[in-house]
Amino acid sequence: MSRPENTLPPDLFYNDTEALKYTTSSRIQKIQSSMTHRALQLLQLKSPSLLLDIGCGSGLSGEILSAPSSAGTPGGPHIWIGLDISSSMLGIALEKEVEGDLFLADAGQGVPFRAGTFDAAISISAIQWLCNAESSSESASGRLSRFFNGLYASLRRGGRAVCQFYPKNDTQKTMVSSAAVRAGFGAGLLEDDPGTKNAKTYLVLTVGGGELDGDITGVVRGMEGVDVMDQRRKVKGRKRGEEIQGSKKWIIRKKEQMERKGKVVKANSKYTGRKRRIAF
Amino acid sequence: MKLLTLNFLTCAIKTCKTSPSSFPLHPQDSELEIVEADINVLFLRNMLPRLMWNELRLIVNELGLPSLPETAPDASSLLETKLQVPEGDTTGLNIEKIEVPSQVAKDLHRVLLETCIREGKLVCGNCGHEYKVMEGVANFLLPGHLV
Ligand SMILES: C[S@@+](CC[C@H](N)C(=O)[O-])C[C@H]1O[C@@H](n2cnc3c(N)ncnc32)[C@H](O)[C@@H]1O
Ligand SMILES: [Zn+2]
């Protein structure tokens, strides 16, 4: 299947015709609904919460967020606020009279809510669009960092976000998840049906503080099948025998890394990584 | 847009983020509507500690709505107990105690979740930027030079 992200910017791609086609396709409804339920399962909401839906589109996820727990929405009904860059998609959400508040907004410009607003955030099939710079004056990495920084600040301490997205390739997957880590999130990647054409990638994000105080990646790490991305883990939870920064093992590995990048490094010797005696 | 949302929304312009006058945004030329919704006391209780009460009172005044009390209600005042005859009991001998949303909760629900801005604009107190609201949807798309 071709990637719409390669054809047009999102607000032009999701025009009236495409928005209607998208929302009324029973195949799409079914897939988006199952991914929303998966994301909710990962969010583990216990009671009615205030949620942000990034790239909410016509509100296919929103309708599920508004449903009571008796209808299968954990902790529901929730109150949600949706952002989307396509007025046609939002127009359909209005026609459907979804319960959430809607904003015409570009997530790549940030998240205009005060600190600690949301209990959690959800995004289904949207954030890969952030990797396309809309105009020449912008870079994809600038858009990603504005988005994740804004999202991080707008979530309450101990809050979570789950973003299902369609990375173009591994480079893009890494670019997105490392932007989240740089914004301060504890991050993990979860793949459902990896290697098949139905593969789904979920970026699971946690904010430190609150109930999670101390170890911000603890929750993500405890989840089955989630690959923790956070770099800090190595430093924090180092086991005996693992390499220490500045040790011989570490220096050798760094040298190998630099050599691979084509840099000239000094040959290893028996003195490599030894403590230098203080000379008087 | 619910007044609840307005209690969390800030100006999107980067240089405003650090300025206290960029929150709350001030509604102008607004047309309000009431959209009825089921009351959810658990949600209200969850939101209470996060509300900026003084700013909510300010907005309510700016919109010309009846004033809110000076201090935010206490979470414990959201429910009250009611005595009632158990359903289907015709003996008239039994009575049960149930918890129901209090008037305080109903009023809060009305203001936060049912009172909505349908048309108008939201104005930043710091930079003066105007965000249009049409059919309840606010336009927060910024021209490139303001991002
Ligand atoms: C595949 S649709 C998914 C819609 C909805 N989340 C769902 O699951 O049905 C992708 C949506 O992301 C929106 N989108 C793309 N780029 C965006 C951006 N920079 N900011 C906000 N929304 C964006 C598109 O307009 C579109 O509605
Ligand atoms: Zn401003």
CB pairs under 8 A between A and B: 82
Residues A254 and A220 in one domain: no
Pocket test for ligand 1, best of A86, A127, A134, A147 (most atoms within 8 A of CB): A86
Confidence of residue A238 (pLDDT cuts 50, 70, 90): very low
* Total count of domains within chain B: 1
Mean pLDDT, chain A, rounded, equals: 86
Domain final position from A206, A229, A252: A229
Residue B135's domain comprises 3-75+104-146
Nearest CA in chain A to B38: A77
Among A109-118, A221-230, B7-16, the least confident range: A221-230
Residue A49's domain comprises 4-229
Pocket test for ligand 1, best of A1, A56, A98 (most atoms within 8 A of CB): A56
Which residues approach ligand 1 with their CB closer than 6 A? A 10, 14, 32, 55-57, 60-61, 83-86, 89, 106-108, 124-126, 129-130
Confidence of residue A216 (pLDDT cuts 50, 70, 90): very low
Distance A78 CA to ligand 2 centre (A): 29
Single pTM value for the model: 0.86
**B68 assigned to some structural domain:** yes
Residues A9 and A74 in one domain: yes
**B57 assigned to some structural domain:** yes
Residues A132 and A15 in one domain: yes
Q: What percent of chain A has pLDDT over 70?
A: 74
What's the pLDDT tens digit per position in A160-201? 999 999 999 999 999 999 999 999 999 999 999 998 999 999
Distance CA A266, CA A179 (A): 33
Quote the pLDDT of residue A90: 98
CATH of the domain at B116: 2.20.25.10
What's the pLDDT tens digit per position in A23-54? 999 999 999 999 999 999 999 999 999 999 99
What's the pLDDT tens digit per position in B60-109? 999 999 999 999 999 999 999 999 898 888 888 999 999 999 999 999 99
Q: What is the 3-state secondary structure (H, E, C) of chain A?
A: CCCHHHCCCHHHHCCHHHHHHHHHCHHHHHHHHHHHHHHHHHHCCCCCCEEEEECCCCCHHHHHHCCCHHHCCCCCCCEEEEEECCHHHHHHHHHCCCCCEEEECCHHHCCCECCCCEEEEEEECCHHHHHCCCCCCCCHHHHHHHHHHHHHHHEEEEEEEEEEECCCCHHHHHHHHHHHHHCCCEEEEEEECCCCCCCEEEEEEECCCHHHCCCCCHHHHHCCCEEECCCHHHHHCCCCCCCCCCCHHHHHHHHHHHHHCCCCCCCCCCCCCCCCCCCC
Which of these, A98, A95, A115, A123, lies nearest to A38 by C-alpha position? A123
Between positions 143 and 172 of A, the ones with CB within 8 A of B are 146, 156
Nearest CA in chain B to A108: B147
Residues A254 and A201 in one domain: no
The crossing angle, in degrees rounded to 10, of helices A16-24 and A26-43 is: 70
- Which ligand number lies closest to the CA of residue B127? 2
Quote the pLDDT of residue A218: 55
Better pLDDT: A210 or B58: B58
Among A240-244, A251-255, B3-7, the least confident range: A240-244
Residues A78 and A199 in one domain: yes
Task: List the single residue in B8, B43, B138 with the smallest CB-CB distance to A114.
Answer: B8
**B82 assigned to some structural domain:** no
What's the pLDDT tens digit per position in A50-101? 999 999 999 999 999 999 999 999 999 999 999 999 999 999 999 999 999 9
**B142 assigned to some structural domain:** yes
**B114 assigned to some structural domain:** yes
Distance CA B80, CA A127 (A): 44
pLDDT over threshold 90, residue A237: no
Q: Give the up-direction half-sphere exposure of residue B123: CA atoms within 13 A in the CB hemisphere.
A: 10
Residues A192 and A269 in one domain: no
Residues A223 and A248 in one domain: no
Q: What is the 3-state secondary structure (H, E, C) of chain B?
A: CEHHHHCCECCCCHHHCCCHHHCCCEEEEEEEEECCCCCCHHHHHHHHHHCCHHHHHHHHHHCCCCCCCCCCCCHHHHEEEEEECCCCCCCCCCCEEEEEECHHHHHHHHHHHHEEEEEEEEECCCCCCEEEEECCEEECCCCHHHC
Nearest CA in chain B to A154: B8
pLDDT over threshold 80, residue A280: no
Residues A126 and A254 in one domain: no
Neighbouring CB atoms inside 10 A of A170's CB total: 8
Confidence of residue A138 (pLDDT cuts 50, 70, 90): confident
Residues A265 and A142 in one domain: no
Cβ-contact A183, A148 below 8 angstroms: yes
Min Cα separation A165/chain B (Å): 22
The reply to whether residue A113 touches residue B141, judged by beta carbons under 8 angstroms, is no
CATH of the domain at A101: 3.40.50.150
Strands A186-192 and A118-124: unpaired
Distance CA B120, CA B25 (A): 12
Min Cα separation A112/chain B (Å): 5
**B109 assigned to some structural domain:** yes
Min Cα separation A148/chain B (Å): 15
What's the pLDDT tens digit per position in B20-65? 999 999 999 999 999 999 999 999 999 999 999 999 999 999 999 9
Contacts of B52 in chain A (CB under 8 A): 114
Residues A255 and A193 in one domain: no
The reply to whether residue A47 touches residue B42, judged by beta carbons under 8 angstroms, is yes
Residues A193 and A94 in one domain: yes
* Total count of domains within chain A: 2
Q: Give the up-direction half-sphere exposure of residue A45: CA atoms within 13 A in the CB hemisphere.
A: 32
Confidence of residue A211 (pLDDT cuts 50, 70, 90): low
Distance CA A53, CA A38 (A): 15
Confidence of residue A227 (pLDDT cuts 50, 70, 90): confident
**A117 assigned to some structural domain:** yes
Residues A279 and A166 in one domain: no
Distance A125 CA to ligand 1 centre (A): 7
Structure tokens belonging to residue A113: 């809510």
Cβ-contact A52, B5 below 8 angstroms: no
**A253 assigned to some structural domain:** yes
